[in-house]
Structures are given as C-alpha cells and as structure tokens.
Amino acid sequence: MKGQWTLLGIASAIKNNLEAGLKGTANYSFSMEQLEYEVISTRNAIIKQLDTQGILDKTEFVQEINCIPVDCEKLSLCCDVNTKTTTLHFELPIFTHIEYVGTPNRDKPFKIYNNSNFIYNKFRNSKLNKRPYVSMRINEGIQHGFLFNPPTSNIKYVSVSGILSNPLDVNKYSCCNYNPREDKFPAPDYVITQIIDTMTSKWSSWYYRFNNSKSNNQTGLP
Amino acid sequence: MDKEIRINRENNAVYDLVSIYTGLSKINSMFGDNVNEDDYLDNALNCLRLIGNVHPLLYGISAESDNEGYVCLPANALSIEAVTNGYFDWSSFSYMGNTSNFNLSGQYIAYEFLGDRIRIEHPNKKVSILYKGYSSDEEGLPLITEAEAEACAYWWVYIDTRRKIRTGNASANNYFQIALSDKNKAINQARVPNKFSQNFLNQYGNVITSFDRKSYNKDYKPIKLQ
C-alpha cells in the first residue's frame, strides 16, 4: 500500500542513502536480502533498547497468528524416549514477547510458563490451578507449546499474538499472508526512522574507514 | 452465628460487590497495561489476602455421602457451621439465604473437615450442611468491592514495577516509590467500608460504650460517633 513503510522500502531507502553518499568515492554492491535481514535484527535491537529504557509500547510491534494447529506430542519431543503419554502441542515461530495465547475467538487466554516451570502449576491457588495453561520451550529454532487443561476437549487451533523475532515467519501459516513488498513493516514510524539512521550511519562509517585504510600513507596529514 | 452474619452483610450500607475481573479493566483504564488474565488473578488473590476483608454468607446444602463417607463442599466454603442428619426446615429457609435463620432439624453428627470436603462415619447418608462461604462468581472466584478492585490494580502495578527493576528497566526505579505508596494507600482504603449504615454504627457504638462502662475510673458518657 502506498504511503507506508514496507520491509523492502526500508531496505531500499538504506541502499539509496549509502549509494548517494558514496557516489564517486566507492563502488560497492549491496545485497538486498542481507539488508532486509539486518533491518529485522536492528528492529529487534531497538525493541530491546526501548524496553530497557521503559518506553516500549509493545502494541505497535504486535503481529498475530490465528490458525495454529494443535496436535499431540510427547513432552520429551524425542522419539527415543519410551513413553506413550502425549500432550496437546503446537508449534510457533520464535516470539520475543508473547501477549496472548488462547482460543482463536479470544475469550480464553492461557497462562504461560516458560521452560519446565509448568510442573509447579499444581501448587497454584486451588481456584486457579484447573484453568488452561501452556508450557513454552524453544527447541531447534522452533518454539513448542504444550497445552494443559484445555478449555474444550476437541480444541483444534490456538491463536497467538506477540512480537515475532522475524516478522516474515507468519507466512508459515495458511491464514497469514504478509507480503514484505506491500504490507506495512510491523514497527512505528519513529522506529523505522531510527532503523534507517542507525544502519546508514553504521555502514557508511564502515565504508569510510575501509576506504581510508586502503591508502593510509600519511600523505593527508598536516 | 446469626449475629456475625448481620455484622458482615445485613448492616452494610450499600451492596457494592463486583467481579474480581473489575481490577483488570481498572488496570487498563488507569495505566493502559495489557495484563495476562491468569497473572492478574494470581496477584489479585494475594492482594485480597493482604487486605483481609471477607464478605461471607451463610449457605446451606443437602447432600449425600459417598461409599467412603465423603461429601464434597462447594468451592466457596470457608468454614463449617453445622452438619446434621436431618433436612432444612423450609418454613424458615428463605431463598435469599442470609435474611432468615436456618433451622436445621435432626441431630448433629460427627464430621472431619478436609478443606474441600467433609468426611462422616456413615456412607450413603443424606446430610444437611450449614457452612459459611464467601460471595463468589460462577468460577468460584470471590466477589470484591470497588475499592478492593482498585487496590488489586495498584498491587499489580507495584508487582510489575518490581519485576521491571529486576529485568534492568531504567525508568522503573524512579517510579517504584510512587507505586509502593499508591499500593499501600489503596490497600488501606480498601479495608474501610465505603459507607457506614446507622445500624452498623449503633452496633459498633454499643460495643465501645459497653466496654468503657466496665472499665475502672472511666467516663460513663457514651461515645458519640461522627
């Protein structure tokens, strides 16, 4: 859509800035794919920085996936372990922050436990320990969720919203169609400006230094 | 037994109990935070325990013990008042529960209170149980006053600020003292009823004056409550 920053638009802006500034002094080519990935990692670094400063508004970065299929899987996630007990399970791309995990119609959020802390749920207040909860684990680059006390016995999908480590990961699901050429990059404008400034200054200073180091013959010194 | 119920409920000036989830909407409107429902409930129950208010009612149930003599109690049960082998006298049993005296017929029978159930010696026996329980919603979570809901909201902000300090949030340090004093103020306010009825004051005044009159070398004038 016109008038908004897409991932490709941000990468192109950085490329244009660098090429215009380096015109006549250097002749470098840029990989757009590398620039796009660097835009994403710079965004994550800025999110971390804003969070530490206490001025992060997470809602401006949130993406949601509403069709995550639920299957059954062993808690060990390993075929060698001889156990027949399986648990309701779903796979997610890696989220740096999860805002909601629950039913797709948003009426039942689940409590989130990280790693193996879910085993202490039974010691929770007796009025609350029968409520649904999930255990989140990252294994081989995939975030696994195990669902306990499901709200309905035949639950088929769960919905997740939060800040994705890589915004392009939503395309792994059939209900999501994020197009980096057309859809708005999930960050507010002030962060996008910061991404462009940070990357342009970083790359241009690198090139400036590399360019100078090639001809360091002391002739320019007074 | 009945007197205690009157102190807790019948002499309240206003009926202002709301759902425990009211605190969530207060957090959203006062602080703009999106909070996980379960995290909030964990902390709200802690906060209510700290405030110490209980809004009890007297409930009566008829039930039958199982093969081992166990009888399950409703989730809101706080304490047992009586267990008998008879039935409720429906002539004095109002559907409001708290407006009339319960009249348990039959004989008292021995029981063991196990928290969420009781155990009697007789399997498959019909019993009547009179118990004191807090006012609860359909999930078994307590109903609270508006002031308590506000205290839960401030309590959440205090807990959240403390958590942010631990994770290295720079601005949380500056806000911590405000969050702490707000929390303490809200909790103290939640301990005081919104409005006293004349009945409550009359009862409260009677207690104080009767205590004073029994004291040696004290003024006999009754205390005047403002």
pLDDT tens track for A53-78: 888 888 889 999 999 999 998 888 87
CA distance B110 to A179: 71
Q: B38–A110: do the CB atoms touch at under 8 Å?
A: yes
DSSP B9: I
pLDDT at residue B99 greater than cutoff 50 = no
Q: How far apart are CA B128 and CA B126, in angstroms?
A: 7
Please tell me which of A183-192, B11-20, B205-214 the model is most confident about, judged by mean pLDDT: A183-192
Asked if A125 is an interface residue toward chain B (Cβ–Cβ < 8 A), one would say yes
Calculate ∠ Cα B126-B131-B133, nearest 5°: 135
A109 with B75: Cβ contact below 8 A? no
DSSP A4: S
Tens digit of each residue's pLDDT (9 = 90 or more) over A20-35 = 766 655 566 678 888 8
From the CA of A147, how many Å to the nearest CA of chain B? 15
pLDDT score at B95? 43
What is the average pLDDT value for chain B, to the nearest integer?
79
The reported pLDDT for the residue numbered B17 is 84
Q: Are strands B126-134 and B77-84 parallel, antiparallel or unpaired?
A: antiparallel
Distance CA B54, CA B133 (A): 9
- Please check the confidence at residue A165 and state whether its pLDDT lies above 90: yes
pLDDT at A134: 95
Q: Does A128 touch chain B (CB under 8 A)?
A: yes
Three-state SS string across A178-196, please?
A: CCCCCCECCCCHHHHHHHH
Residue A106 contacts B, CB cutoff 8 Å: no
**B196-209 confidence digits (pLDDT tens):** 778 777 777 766 55
- A169-182 per-position pLDDT tens digit: 998 888 888 888 88
CA trace torsion A72, A74, A75, A76 (10° rounding): -150
The contacts of residue A83 (CB under 8 Å, 6+ apart) are A74, A76
pLDDT tens digit sequence for B103-142: 566 788 899 998 888 999 988 888 888 888 888 888 888 8
Q: How many CB atoms lie within 10 A of CB B181?
A: 12
What residues in B contact A111, CB-CB < 8 Å? 36, 38-39
How many residues in total does chain A contain?
222
Q: Which of B36, B45, B171 sits opposite A53 (nearest CB)?
A: B171
Does the pTM exceed 0.80? no
Cα separation, B103 vs A66, in Å, equals: 55
Pairs of CB atoms within 8 A across A/B = 40
Cα–Cα distance measured from residue A155 to residue A140, given in angstroms and rounded to the nearest whole number = 26
**For B21-30, B129-138, B166-175, which range has the lowest pLDDT when averaged over its residues?**
B129-138
Q: Provide the pLDDT for residue B15.
A: 63
Query: Closest to B172 (Cβ–Cβ): which among A54, A124, A131?
Result: A54
**Residue B92 pLDDT > 70:** no
Residue for token pair 């806000």: B175
pLDDT band for position B151 (50/70/90)? very high
Q: Is the pLDDT of residue B9 over 80?
A: no
Residue B165 sits at the chain A interface (C-beta within 8 Å): no
Mean pLDDT of chain A: 86
Interface of A with B in 85-104 (CB under 8 A): 99
- How high is the pLDDT of residue B91? 44
A51 and B169 in contact by Cβ < 8 A? yes
- Taking the CA of residue B220 and the nearest CA in chain A, the distance in Å comes to 50
Alpha-carbon distance of B47 to A167, in angstroms, equals 38
> Would you say residue B149 has pLDDT above 70?
yes
Contact A158, A67 (CB under 8 A): no
User: Cα separation of B95 and B13, whole Å?
Assistant: 21
Rounded to whole angstroms, the Cα distance separating B145 from B193 reads 9
End-to-end CA distance of chain A: 53
Residue A96 pLDDT greater than 70, yes or no: yes
As a three-state string, the secondary structure of A43-87 is HHHHHHHHHHHCCCCHHHCCEEEEEEECEEECCCCCCCCCCCCCE
Q: Which residues in chain B are closer than 8 Å to A58, comparing Cβ atoms?
A: 34
Chain A interface includes B138 (CB < 8 A) = no
Residue written as token pair 């959240």: B160
Contact residues for B14 (Cβ-Cβ < 8 A; gap 6+): B194, B195
Q: Which residue of B has its CA nearest to A49?
A: B169
Rounded distance, CA B194 to CA B200, Å? Answer: 13
Do residues B33 and B145 make contact, with C-beta atoms less than 8 angstroms apart?
no
CA neighbor of B188 nearest in space, from B48, B26, B51: B51
Q: What is the per-residue pLDDT for B122? A: 86
Burial level of B84, CB count in 10 A (0-12/13-18/19+)?
middle
A126, B38: Cβ pair inside 8 Å? no
Rg (CA), chain A: 23
Residue B7 confidence (pLDDT): 35
Least confident of A78-92, B28-42, B89-103: B89-103
Percent of chain A topping pLDDT 70: 88
For residue range A102-127, list pLDDT tens digits in order: 999 988 999 999 878 899 998 988 78
Candidates A140, A178, A156; CA nearest to A68 is A156
Cβ contact, residue pair A59, B34, below 8 Å: yes
Of A58, A99, A125, the CB nearest to B45: A125
Contact yes or no for A150/A131 (Cβ under 8 A) = no
Interface test with A, best of B41, B137, B143, B166 (most A CBs within 10 A): B41
Q: Where are the strands (E) in chain B, listed by range?
A: 17-18, 56-64, 70-72, 77-84, 111-113, 117-120, 126-134, 144-145
CA distance A158 to A100: 10
- Give the distance from residue B206's alpha carbon to the nearest chain A alpha carbon, in angstroms: 39
Whether residues B36 and A125 touch (CB distance < 8 A) is answered with: no
Test mutation, B24, B33, B36, B137, chain A, max A CBs within 10 A? B36
In 3D, which of A104, A195, A105 has the Cα closest to residue A157? A104
When scoring A61, A99, A111, A135 by the number of chain B Cβ atoms within 10 A, the one with the most, hence best to mutate, is A111
Q: Can you tell me the distance from the alpha carbon of B144 to that of B44, in angstroms, rounded to the nearest whole number? A: 10
Nearest to A162 by CA among A66, A90, A46, A42: A66
Nearest CA in chain A to B116: A126
What is this model's ipTM?
0.79
